[in-house]
Chain A
């Protein structure tokens, strides 16, 4: 995959005066690590490469603009969520253009109720699968997954509260994550 080589490409180079701060920001570091994955994720959902670059650029801009003091619990989730939202915004803007530029973004929320319904239904079905999958996890795996991924405990806190070692907790969480993903997206 060619994208692998573009991780630290010029597209995401931060402004000079903010460079040092941004490079030290854990969220921006995570963004750099995840860029090839984000690129493929976006490319699977938008039509042309220029859009992919634009969206990645937008993500970088948002990261630069955010308050660096505000902690982000789950960096990968945060980055993929920004990517999803930017793609949605893009679709909305495109729809506005098609309808003659006279529609505000607020109006657009109800412009395509069927699409919205499909999206909600899809969400509901996935949610049902997720809950069913969570229920069938082995007790220990569920416990540490809930503590670490849902309640925001650190691995160390989860280890302390369960009496397990850090390595054991990490392995259990990883197993739970893999099992959940397999069951939620079994199609």
Chain B
């Protein structure tokens, strides 16, 4: 730390640490004088001493916080584990880490579990902070993580992030996220869900965990996807995506306009109408639905901005594309139904704005 390229600030920072250690042990009058001379030479040095003095308090606060929040966190994790147990048992024989405990209402709540070496019988202490992120209806948010990776959360998404020395873990409990992974060959980043595990060292990709659509799509780098029946592993590169079917098959294909939702664009590529409406509904308070089985199975390819749209306007765009009628539902939702007068009748459909 004291090589020729070390800046004056860094030298001061290190010197401040040494002075505080020495002061704690007791300074002789000569050393005290030397300390005062050092301190007086640069005004910022007093702040560096104050920071050193503040560090143990932060450490103790972290321990207290862990004790207080540990109990609440364990309860939340148990609850989440219970709710997921059946689903996971059915879908996958492979065991994945379930680390996501999502606190309702908190967009980003950091909790910490500080474990002293003797608690675990290990040689070194490991501090494992977990950060919980959540978005609600229509919300698309971006967060910077401690490792300089960046995550975008689509609407109705819940993730938890845990950074350890050996790896970076993101658990996608629900919804869809996009990760721009900061390069760190020694610490791979994992995105896990009950059905798949995606591993990357330096990449950018989208991970989706919708009720009817689960998988990943890659925009940069290489991502290794493990999951599906038999826990198969495949590497996906730029522009490739992989979707897991209900039976556990993995289907890969090329993809464009990945994660356009970050720019509030809805890009539907050969999607079933019911799935498209479910996806679109994530951004609105009024659900968009289709009851007619034949219409629900219609496939749709469409791209439009949802930035300033109301539910009614979004529903109108879709209805026009497939030639359907719109009607308001008792539950405040909007229903698409086959056009009464044939394929073109949807153009004249009526729906109340809100």
Q: Mark A110-131, 1 if CB is under 8 A from B, else 0.
A: 0000000000000110111111
B202 touches A (CB below 8 Å): no
Please tell me the size bucket of the interface on B: 35 or more
Q: How far is the CB of A23 from chain B (nearest CB, A)?
A: 12
Q: How far is the CA of A5 from the CA of B174 in the complex (A)?
A: 63
Contacting residue for A128 out of B18, B27, B57, B146, CB 8 A: B146
List residues 150-185 of chain B with CB under 8 A from any CB of chain A: 163-165
Contacting residue for A184 out of B21, B47, B50, B51, CB 8 A: B51
B321 touches A (CB below 8 Å): no
The residue in chain A whose Cβ has the minimal distance to the Cβ of B61 is A127
Measured CB to CB, the residues of B under 8 A from A are 1, 10, 13-14, 16-18, 20-21, 23-24, 26-27, 32, 35-37, 39-41, 43, 45-63, 65, 110, 112, 116-117, 123-129, 131, 146-147, 163-165
User: Which label, helix, strand, loop or mixed, suits the secondary structure of the A interface?
Assistant: helix
Given contacts A75-B24, A76-B23, A180-B55, contact A150 B46 (CB under 8 A): no
Given contacts A34-B23, A146-B125, A178-B13, contact A128 B110 (CB under 8 A): yes
Contacts of B59 in A (CB 8 A): 130, 134, 145-146, 149-150
- Number of A residues contacting the other chain (C-beta, 8 Å)? 56
Q: How far is the CA of A41 from the CA of B65 in the complex (A)?
A: 27
Q: Are A185 and B116 in contact (CB under 8 A)?
A: no
Contacts of B36 in A (CB 8 A): 4, 7, 36
Q: How far is the CB of B336 from chain A (nearest CB, A)?
A: 44
Given A41-B50, A175-B14, A178-B14, 15 additional A-B pairs, CB 8 A? A1-B43, A4-B37, A4-B39, A7-B36, A26-B26, A33-B23, A76-B49, A77-B54, A79-B53, A139-B165, A142-B125, A150-B56, A150-B60, A175-B1, A182-B13
